[in-house]
Amino acid sequence: MKCKYCKSIIEDGSLFCRFCGAQLFKAQKQETPIPKPKHLSNGRWTAQMMVNGKRCSIYGATFEQYEINARAIKAQLISAKNEPPRLTLGTAIDRYIASIANVLSPSTIRGYNYIRRGRFAGYMDKLIGDINWQQMVSDEAKKFAPHTVKNAWGLVSVSLSAAGEPIPNIHLPKSVKKELPFLDYKQIQVFLEAVKGNPIEPAAILALHSLRRSELAALTVDDISGGYIHVNKASVMNDGNVFVNKPTTKTEASTRDIPIMIPRLLEITPKSGKLVTIPETSLRDRINRICAANGLPLVGCHGLRRSFASLCYHLGWSERMVMQIGGWSTLQTVHDFYIKLYDSDKDQNVKAMKDFYKFTTE
């Protein structure tokens, strides 16, 4: 054959010309053979491989990462000391909580630390690479409600992700949607009469204006003006069980101006200071005692917020209006969790439908 550059006669199949030294063909890429890996219950991939006459274990957080590691080790580009991380689940969670401590609400951090101390207790000191994740979740599901397990797993997932670990594909226990109590429009009237003059009356009326417990706890007389309740801050409990003030509300949508719709609020507003002086931790019990004494559902403080949304439905408010006044971020939340159909409203709707079809029997 001839060299395509200098035209010299050279041996057939030559990769380089022995006269001008030019490379005549690109070298064929040789695929490095690697063993087929196993997929572990913790989400990692691993296999045994001989390197320089010694057997070693190759790992990867994903299948693709395993292939990269295995080929690089086979080609002796990197060391075979590719062990799973010596990181326990508890340490991973601690690191994640520390990384977001100055970003999230103190109450959120408090909730994360509560999970860290009380969930998956038998697994917190185990290495991440040694945990059977499905077994861990199944063990927890024997002791706690599905939504509790789901919340705890949420913290585990974000902690693994922050540590650069794959999130295992596991099955969580199914939650049964529970109907939460609220007051219908007739019961609201009974409740307002029963709470009149009680120390918790300001908190109850504010909750019926859609305020969350954290919002009404931070409210002062200065936030009542021009016929509106100006909601722009919150008071939450930190990890030391101490209430601290936040200069912001739960979400951007939670900062809002609410028209005063229950005139009684203006009658009982003090001249200065906070509107609610009852500790947040006792509001639920005090409200429920009044409900029980008057034959009403035990709604607690947050149930009054649900009652607000349901009353809006009864009065014909649009969901968008409910979302805006109530400080909810999405219409889906309003629709799924807060707007409830009163039985009387259902009956009226059914009656209207029956009246419409009367012509079929005439």
Query: DSSP state, 191?
Result: H
Can you tell me the distance from the alpha carbon of 249 to that of 283, in angstroms, rounded to the nearest whole number? 20
Same structural domain, 208 and 337: yes
In a domain, 354, yes or no: no
What is the torsion angle, in degrees rounded to the nearest 10, for the CA atoms of residue 66, residue 72, residue 75 and residue 79? -100
Question: Residue 177: inside a domain, yes or no?
Answer: no
**Within this chain, do residues 125 and 67 fall inside the same structural domain, yes or no?**
no
Q: CA dist 327 to 147, 237, 330, 353, Å?
A: 24, 21, 9, 34
Q: Are residues 194 and 233 in the same domain?
A: yes
| Same-domain pairing of 99 and 233 | no
Contact predicate 120/159, CB 8 Å? no
Helix (H, G, I), strand (E, B) or coil at 264: helix
7, part of any domain: yes
Ranges 43-47, 233-237, 323-327, 330-334, most confident? 323-327
Are β-strands 224-225 and 38-39 bridged in parallel, bridged antiparallel, or unpaired?
A: unpaired
Residue 343 pLDDT exceeds 80? no
Residue 362: inside a domain: no
Residue 39 has pLDDT above 60, yes or no: yes
Name the domain count of the chain.
4
- pLDDT-derived band at 26 (thresholds 50, 70, 90) equals low
Asked whether residue 63 is assigned to any structural domain, the reply reads yes
Q: Which domain holds residue 107?
A: 89-162
Percent of the chain exceeding pLDDT 90 equals 38
pLDDT(143) > 60: yes
Mean pLDDT of all residues in the chain? 83
Give the pLDDT confidence of 82-98 residue by residue, as tens digits. 455 578 999 999 999 99
Q: What is the pTM of this model?
A: 0.64
* Residues 249 and 228 grouped into a single domain: yes
Residue 44 has pLDDT above 90, yes or no: no
209 and 331 both lie in a single domain: yes
Both 3 and 46 in one domain: the answer is: no
Looking at residue 324, which CATH number applies to its domain? 1.10.443.10
Instruction: Give the range with max mean pLDDT: 58-62, 78-82, 111-115, 350-354.
Output: 111-115
Q: Say yes or no: 190 and 74 in one domain.
A: no
Residues 215 and 328 in one domain: yes
